[in-house]
Amino acid sequence: MTLVAILSGAGISTDSGIPDYRGPKGLWRRDPEAEKLVTYDFYMGDPEIRRRSWQMRRNSTTWRAEPNAAHRAVAELDRRDGVAVRVLTQNVDGLHQLGGMPDRKVLELHGTARAVTCTRCHARSSMAEALERVEAGEEDPPCQVCGGILKSATVMFGERLDPVVLGEATAIAKASEIFIAVGTTLQVQPAASLAGIAAEHGARLIVVNAEPTPYDEHAAEVVREPIGTALPELLSRLASGPSGG
């Protein structure tokens, strides 16, 4: 059984209509102010930032997005005999699961946009439910359990990754025989370091990204082609011969 770990970033979801963050047309480049909306201290300290954040969530392209060929190719590889796939994703859109990957095989390093959590009592509920309240006129809906401030169940700037999730991801990186970093600039730590950890432990590292990354020099293969076609081709090749050819 060959363990294939796939670290996915925003670039895998751009074909689904979800903009990336740091690419040439990325969200942070187009609107540096938008970064405040997902920065924990700003969010907790400013009701106006929270109101704007809820409007941003309400209008997010995520809710209309469908899995694309790259997401489906990952799920297809997982169904092949002799291959075990684990997805370590920096994305919060849930498209890997919608594309057919079992929930238990996807580690969401930065959380999920499809749920909300209370910053006081940590009660968790669905984003859809919270957005219904926003639609009904609540500009900054409080927790219905304790009245605390609600936030998306994503890791905001200024928050730590869940140590349990990161520990599991690190173990998978160390155990993987093939590690594919796709659609990620490999600049956001600690998620980016998983590529280096995998390579150090003997994995064949493959980078699929439009722009250079800090880990390209450690990669056995670097693919610059569009992800929607390049990843399905690469995974098909792996499926027919897990060593890559």
**Which residue numbers are catalytic?**
110
Length of the chain: 245
CB 199, CB 221: distance < 8 Å: no
Residue 181's nearest CA partner among 111, 131, 231 is 231
Q: What are phi and psi of 128, to 5 degrees?
A: -55, -40
Q: What is the DSSP letter of 187?
A: -
Euclidean distance between CA atoms 140 and 157, whole angstroms: 20
CB 181, CB 216: distance < 8 Å: no
Helix (H) or strand (E) holding 52: helix 47-58
Beta bridge mates, 206: 180, 221
Residue 92's nearest CA partner among 193, 172, 161, 142 is 161
Quick one: how far is CA 30 from the chain centroid? 20
Q: Are strands 150-154 and 111-118 parallel, antiparallel or unpaired?
A: antiparallel
Q: What is the DSSP letter of 109?
A: T
Residue 67's nearest CA partner among 78, 79, 75 is 75
